[in-house]
């Protein structure tokens, strides 16, 4: 047995769900002491650092099984991050693992088209009627960048409207009042983003139609981009009729409507949020669930728009690993599991988690928001309707709550501005375990 395999076996013998307070995470601490000298902040994506919840180092993971993560120190956690959304089937789902293994045996990358790409594209188009044609890429950021370029080319305009707290990847022009990790760090933008890159972006408050109407009247807008259900400021649903107004007013103004469904796509329903709210955008950005845990994203829309993309048209976009056979295999296997029964189960699990967290919070000022597959416990005494409301939450108490959950074997998002992701691998026992830990964690957080 090799050294790595031996260490894994030794850790497996000592697995624990974590003591009532304080975890021995010396293994994670040791790895992090090396990591900070090799990677910025010791991580490859900022929200993984856990600094926002007051931890000096993140938890380093060895493997995942179903709804659980197992760290390098042998502790088991109920995972409510699920790789920030892709793992709607849970960790190491057998059909996904088999599909990726089979694909790898035939080669990991070709730099040439495959029939599997065509079949996946056809499946997406069946699920999302507004997507008649799509282009596979490697990340949500890449998909956003490409969709915005296409919108500008199609309209001959430059201005893009986004909403405060909406995160659409680290595209230069959209890193203004963004949510997700950027909000967690308290950064209004980012050094290195030029004035020229940001000047064509207008930021409006989410869920307020009047500023949108004024912007569309005052500017030649190429596109309005939004998460149809905001999830990077925590889960904030659109107010009744808001998406309908977006659709109506952008069409009247000659602007395109772009839905960023990287999080909501194939999660809140078979056809994403646009199906749930019966509003069809011009362009859709997809990712996360689409790749089943491997790097895969896409942008798509009406044929007349997508045929502007090279080589069919003149809007250039390319990628060496786009449509990678391993990622396509994982995505195809994942979507195959997502039938009507799966979405009904996901809805019931989400409702149970949300109600259990409400019960655990009791009369404390915590508002739990949810849509199928997504939950956010806002440390706020009132419902959250926009980024200003999310920013007014008690971030220190959320941090204390998360630290207490980790001590009790629950792995939450290390940011108030991120959604908790429900998977089909979760069950009633996992939710009961979470609720019990949450009751103690709320007590710890509000005693601080």
Catalytic residues: 167, 260, 288
Angle between helices 115-127 and 325-336 (to 10 degrees): 40
> CA-to-CA distance for 80 and 354, rounded, in angstroms?
12
Cis peptide before 416, with omega less than 30 degrees from 0?
Answer: no
Question: Considering only CA atoms, which of 320, 12, 275, 262 is closest in space to residue 145?
Answer: 262
> CA-to-CA distance for 165 and 395, rounded, in angstroms?
16
Question: Considering only CA atoms, which of 287, 320, 271, 297 is closest in space to residue 135?
Answer: 297
Angle between helices 242-253 and 209-218 (to 10 degrees): 10
Sign of CA dihedral 49, 54, 60, 61: negative
Count Cβ atoms below 10 Å from residue 102 Cβ, excluding itself.
13
CB 334 within 8 A of CB 89: yes
Token pair recorded at residue 188: 């209004």
> CA-to-CA distance for 264 and 287, rounded, in angstroms?
9
> CA-to-CA distance for 204 and 167, rounded, in angstroms?
13
């Amino acid at each position: 047995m090799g050294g790595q395999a031996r260490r894994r076996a030794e850790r497996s013998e000592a697995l624990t769900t974590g003591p009532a307070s304080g975890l021995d995470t010396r293994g994670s601490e040791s790895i992090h002491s090396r990591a900070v000298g090799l990677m910025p902040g010791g991580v490859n994506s900022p929200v993984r650092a856990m600094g926002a919840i007051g931890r000096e180092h993140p938890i380093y993971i060895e493997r995942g099984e179903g709804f659980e993560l197992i760290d390098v120190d042998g502790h088991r956690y109920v995972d409510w991050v699920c790789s920030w959304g892709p793992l709607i089937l849970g960790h190491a789902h057998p059909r996904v693992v088999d599909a990726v293994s089979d694909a790898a045996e035939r080669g990991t990358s070709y730099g040439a088209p495959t029939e599997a790409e065509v079949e996946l594209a056809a499946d997406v188009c069946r699920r999302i009627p507004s997507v008649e044609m799509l282009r596979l890429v490697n990340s949500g950021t890449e998909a956003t960048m490409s969709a915005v370029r296409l919108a500008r080319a199609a309209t001959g305009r430059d201005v893009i409207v986004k909403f405060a707290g909406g995160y659409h990847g680290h595209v230069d022009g959209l890193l203004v009042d963004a949510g997700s990790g950027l909000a967690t760090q308290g950064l209004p933008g980012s050094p290195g983003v030029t004035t020229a890159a940001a000047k064509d972006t207008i930021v409006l408050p989410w869920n307020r139609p009047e500023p949108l109407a004024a912007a569309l009247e005052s500017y030649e807008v190429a596109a309005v981009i939004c998460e149809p259900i905001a999830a990077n400021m925590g889960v904030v649903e659109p107010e009744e009729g808001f998406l309908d107004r977006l659709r109506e007013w952008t069409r009247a103004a000659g602007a395109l409507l772009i839905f960023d469904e990287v999080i909501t796509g194939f999660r809140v329903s078979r056809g994403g949020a646009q199906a749930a709210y019966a509003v069809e955008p011009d362009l859709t950005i997809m990712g996360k669930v689409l790749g089943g845990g491997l790097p895969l994203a896409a942008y798509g829309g009406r044929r007349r728009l997508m045929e502007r993309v090279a080589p069919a048209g003149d809007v250039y976009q390319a990628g060496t690993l786009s449509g990678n056979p391993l990622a396509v295999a994982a995505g195809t296997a994942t979507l195959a599991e997502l039938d009507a029964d799966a979405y009904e189960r996901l809805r019931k699990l989400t409702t149970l988690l949300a109600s259990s967290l409400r019960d655990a919070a009791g009369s404390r000022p915590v508002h739990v928001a949810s849509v199928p597959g997504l939950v956010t416990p806002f440390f706020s005494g009132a419902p959250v309707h926009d980024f200003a409301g999310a920013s007014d939450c008690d971030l220190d108490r959320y941090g204390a709550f998360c630290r207490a959950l980790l001590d009790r074997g629950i792995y939450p998002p290390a940011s108030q501005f991120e959604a908790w992701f429900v998977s089909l691998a979760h069950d009633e026992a996992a939710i009961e375990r979470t609720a019990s830990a949450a009751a103690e964690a709320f007590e710890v957080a509000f005693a601080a």
